[in-house]
Amino acid sequence: MVIHYRVAGHLACGNHGSNLSSTTELTQVKCRSCRGTEVFKENRKTARNAARRAARKAKVAHERNDWRASWQQRLTDLPGRQRLPRGFGGQPFV
């Protein structure tokens, strides 16, 4: 069964009928005419860009992991006076 793309209550391909199945979800559309319309392509592009932005944000949040704080905590937990590695600025010992 062909599933059409519905935009503002109308089918993107221009077909009419009460028995036609339609959806607003881009991944379920099977009608080639609907998939070739500018409305469908623009909405697919917008959804794809939004997904990329969300993935980029998740990646940035993952990279913001404060590795220095965890490293300092690890050195603090070690017995004795452990030196901090280079780059930790004016703090010679933990």
Higher pLDDT, 64 or 21: 21
Q: Which residue blocks in 1-94 are alpha helix, DSSP H?
A: 32-35, 38-63, 67-77
Domain map (residue ranges) of the chain: 3-68
Q: Is the pLDDT of residue 75 over 90?
A: no
pLDDT in tens, 27-54: 999 999 999 999 999 999 999 999 999 9
User: How far is it, in rounded angstroms, from Cα 74 to Cα 57?
Assistant: 28
Query: Contact 82/92 with Cβ under 8 angstroms?
Result: no
Tokens of 5: 């793309």
